[in-house]
């Protein structure tokens, strides 16, 4: 446990003054270094490395923007006001942070990665087999939801809030399993087969069901589920129970909206593909009849 972080948390929880500020921005060196390294490695991979070893076609501006944007969102979610509100004051802010880490960062990061940038990591047969196994829809669905549900049990959630190292493990598990969950839909590598459009829609719909149950339990509870936030200072005109109910609704409603937005994108992408295939088939039949 990081003693300085614990001391700061205890001071916030038991002190008479609330020290939160929207303008204060404390970034832990590990977050700054980690996010900086991610962007540097990506830009080197899609730039000098691609040109030197002729890895593939240039990454599009959209891909670069998606990846860099995902890292920026990762940085913002783990530092500054969102971090402070999440770690010391508000369960609802913590839910905003988790939505960013699981529903925004992973799909953007995957969308930003060209297939040729990922393929070298899959050359090792064991790595390729493991990746193929972990990104199977049923496996990804099960692991993501089991991790999500377990970490929202009160004793697990409070353990993460009271121990900085456990909190880091929680966030890493959320990001890793959310990446697995999004992979069958985004899947930038054709070798790891993507699901057909209708199956993707069913998959995305099913993904939200366990989270809806958890969020409904939290939002509709008449008691404070997480004692840590019950003891936290009030920074806004929200009681601990109201904050918890708001957090449950944030997990419930925006989470489902994001999944339905993904379902909408998948549907129109699938419909366009079907239209192109039908048009190509009609052209083929027309040419065949013309030659006959």
For 134-200, the DSSP string reads HTSHHHHHHHHHHHHHHHTSHHHHHHHHH-HHHHHHHHHHHHHHHHHHHHHHH-S-TTSPPPPHHHH
Helical segments of 1-60, H only: 3-14, 29-44, 50-53
- 38 vs 35, 42, 72, 186, CA distance in Å? 5, 6, 10, 20
Residue 285's pLDDT is 83
Residue 15's pLDDT is 41
Given the structure tokens 């409603």, which residue do they identify? 253
Is the Cβ–Cβ distance between 195 and 185 less than 8 Å? yes
Q: Is 239 exposed, middle or buried (0-12, 13-18, 19+ CB in 10 A)?
A: exposed
Task: In whole angstroms, give the CA distance from residue 11 to residue 84.
Answer: 13
Residue 17's pLDDT is 53
Residue 117 φ/ψ, nearest 5 degrees: -80, -25
Angle at 282 between CA 281 and CA 283, to 5 degrees: 90
pTM of the model: 0.89
Is the Cβ–Cβ distance between 134 and 143 less than 8 Å? yes
**Host H or E run for residue 236:** none
Residue 280 φ/ψ, nearest 5 degrees: -65, -40
Task: In whole angstroms, give the CA distance from residue 176 to residue 211.
Answer: 17
Is the Cβ–Cβ distance between 166 and 6 less than 8 Å? no
How many other CB atoms sit within 10 Å of the CB of residue 104?
17
How many other CB atoms sit within 10 Å of the CB of residue 143?
16
Task: In whole angstroms, give the CA distance from residue 15 to residue 176.
Answer: 36
Two tokens, residue 255:
């989470």
Residue 4's pLDDT is 41
Q: Is 225 exposed, middle or buried (0-12, 13-18, 19+ CB in 10 A)?
A: buried
Compute mean pLDDT per 10 residues along the chain, 292 residues long, and list them.
Answer: 43 53 85 97 97 95 98 97 95 97 98 95 92 94 97 97 96 98 92 85 95 96 96 92 97 94 94 86 82 72
Q: Helix 240-291 vs helix 197-220: angle between axes, to the nearest 10 degrees? A: 170
Residue 9's pLDDT is 46
Task: In whole angstroms, give the CA distance from residue 78 to residue 150.
Answer: 21
């Amino acid at each position: 446990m990081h003693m300085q972080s614990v001391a700061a948390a205890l001071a916030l929880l038991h002190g008479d003054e609330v020290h939160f500020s929207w303008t204060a921005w404390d970034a832990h060196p590990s977050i700054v270094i980690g996010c900086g390294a991610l962007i540097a490695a990506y830009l080197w991979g899609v730039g000098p490395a691609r040109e030197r070893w002729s890895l593939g076609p240039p990454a599009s501006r959209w891909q670069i923007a998606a990846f860099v944007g995902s890292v920026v969102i990762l940085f913002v979610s783990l530092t500054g006001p969102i971090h402070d509100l999440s770690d010391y004051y508000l369960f609802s802010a913590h839910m905003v942070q988790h939505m960013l880490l699981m529903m925004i960062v992973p799909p953007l990061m995957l969308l930003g990665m060209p297939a040729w940038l990922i393929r070298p990591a899959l050359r090792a047969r064991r790595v390729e087999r493991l990746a193929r196994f972990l990104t199977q829809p049923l496996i990804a669905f099960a692991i993501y939801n089991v991790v999500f549900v377990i970490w929202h049990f009160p004793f697990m959630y409070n353990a993460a809030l009271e121990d900085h190292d456990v909190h880091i493990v929680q966030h890493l598990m959320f990001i890793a399993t959310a990446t697995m969950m999004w992979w069958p839909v985004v899947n930038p590598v054709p070798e790891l087969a993507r699901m057909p459009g209708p199956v993707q829609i069913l998959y995305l719909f099913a993904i939200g069901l366990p989270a809806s149950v958890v969020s409904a339990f939290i939002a509709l509870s008449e008691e404070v589920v997480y004692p840590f936030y019950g003891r936290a200072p009030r920074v806004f005109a929200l009681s601990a129970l109201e904050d918890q109910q708001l957090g449950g609704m944030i997990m419930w409603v925006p989470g489902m909206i994001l999944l339905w937005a993904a379902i909408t994108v998948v549907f129109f992408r699938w419909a366009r593909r079907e239209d192109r295939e039908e048009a190509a088939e009609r052209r083929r039949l027309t040419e065949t009849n013309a030659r006959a």
